């Protein structure tokens, strides 16, 4: 080969390398934080979609199992926990929140995906929505079937989560949840069934959807979140102890008194209908409020319980709080965070209406 041809070849190679580097630099940088759950689970056969062991597959294998991710972003992974989500504690929430906040501050991170078990995914999503001060996309994803099952949903869910985290349109919308091709706000979404891939629903509908790696948006969150929050994960080292007591026919005060004796600073009443409280329970809740325990009325109604203040019970008179449209488990999360800043029922009520 002649010297001129060699120089031309070298120049073309250099240009290719430079263009490739520029293309790579233009790709969004997405970090996947893995915590375990069904998306990292494995069954003994392809027929096992409901019986399996969660939290078995490490994050590097999850990423390797979806090679198409490289078409969306430069992806790297970090194994934060490897647990089933029913074992998540307040300490896990704080550890994860601080890790996400630190990543969000890095200029080389454009979006963050968190793989999570579905049992408490909605609680973690709401917690992060309350305490992260960032506009960068934070997306939580799980699966209803382990990767070893026929029609496993984890691969596509993870692909969609990275697509959402990579999209500039996702910025400023708070913590998001992607499941079954839908995009939900972490505030609203809840697990509504335990054996179907369309398990996650929001009472007011999804924010949008993902089709073949592209996001389509239909609405935006109305409540305060992330960059607009008054809470800050960097100033949180401990959450207030809050418990949930279930309302039902023939209810007694036993659980409420036990939770208070155990140190609960607030008790979420998961009431029937509009957060109704049995006549046999009301005196005990009045007594506990007089001792400083916050009483927060929520509704156990699936898919859209909405508790109106001073309806069913005279909340103003009793100095109780209503959870608005938050289900009992999300009410627990907000109360646990809010009680680190105030012990006034009126302030708590403001927070429940704004968040």
Q: Which residues are annotated as a binding site for substrate?
A: 85, 118-119
Q: How far apart are CA 324 and CA 173, in angstroms?
A: 21
List, as one string, the DSSP characters of 242-304.
EEEEE--TT--SHHHHHHHHTT-SEEEEEEBTTTB--TTTHHHHHHHHHTT-EEEEEE--TTT
CB 344 within 8 Å of CB 321: no
Residue 118 bears catalytic tag: yes
CB 124 within 8 Å of CB 88: yes
Task: Output the known binding site.
Answer: 85, 118-119
Residue 38 bears catalytic tag: yes
Terminal Cα-to-Cα distance of the chain (whole angstroms): 70
Q: How far apart are CA 132 and CA 102, in angstroms?
A: 10
Contact residues for 87 (Cβ-Cβ < 8 A; gap 6+): none
Q: How far apart are CA 190 and CA 176, in angstroms?
A: 12
Q: Which of 118, 120, 134, 272 is catalytic?
A: 118
Q: Which of 38, 120, 124, 134 is catalytic?
A: 38
Residues with a known catalytic role: 38, 118
């Amino acid at each position: 080969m002649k010297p001129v041809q060699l120089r031309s070849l070298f120049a073309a190679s250099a240009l290719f390398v430079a263009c490739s580097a520029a293309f790579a630099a233009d790709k969004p940088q997405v970090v996947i934080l893995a915590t375990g759950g069904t998306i990292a689970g494995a069954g003994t056969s392809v027929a096992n979609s409901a019986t399996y062991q969660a939290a078995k597959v490490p994050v590097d294998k999850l990423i390797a199992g979806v090679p198409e991710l490289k078409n969306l972003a430069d992806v790297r992974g970090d194994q934060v926990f490897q647990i089933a989500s029913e074992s998540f504690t307040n300490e896990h929430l704080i550890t994860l929140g601080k890790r996400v906040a630190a990543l969000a501050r890095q200029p080389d991170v454009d979006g963050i995906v968190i793989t999570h078990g579905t049992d408490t995914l909605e609680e973690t999503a709401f917690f992060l929505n309350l305490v992260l001060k960032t506009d960068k996309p934070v997306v939580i994803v799980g699966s209803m079937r382990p990767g070893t099952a026929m029609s496993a949903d984890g691969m596509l869910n993870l692909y969609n989560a990275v697509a959402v985290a990579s999209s500039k349109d996702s910025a400023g919308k708070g913590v998001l949840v992607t499941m079954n091709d839908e995009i939900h706000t972490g505030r609203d979404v809840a697990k509504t069934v335990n054996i179907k891939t369309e398990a996650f629903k929001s009472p007011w509908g999804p924010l949008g959807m993902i089709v073949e790696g592209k996001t389509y948006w239909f609405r935006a969150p109305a409540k305060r979140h992330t960059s607009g929050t008054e809470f800050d994960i960097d100033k949180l080292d401990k959450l207030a102890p809050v418990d949930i007591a279930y309302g039902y026919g023939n209810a007694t005060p036993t659980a409420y008194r036990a939770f208070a004796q155990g140190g609960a600073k607030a008790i979420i009443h998961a009431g029937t209908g509009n957060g109704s409280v049995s006549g046999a329970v009301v005196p005990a809740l009045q007594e506990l409020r007089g001792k400083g325990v916050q009483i927060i009325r929520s509704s156990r109604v699936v898919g859209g319980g909405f508790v109106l203040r001073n309806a069913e019970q005279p909340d103003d008179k009793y100095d109780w709080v209503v959870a608005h449209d938050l289900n009992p488990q999300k009410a627990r999360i907000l109360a646990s965070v809010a009680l680190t800043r105030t012990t006034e029922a009126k302030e708590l009520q403001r927070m429940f209406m704004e968040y």
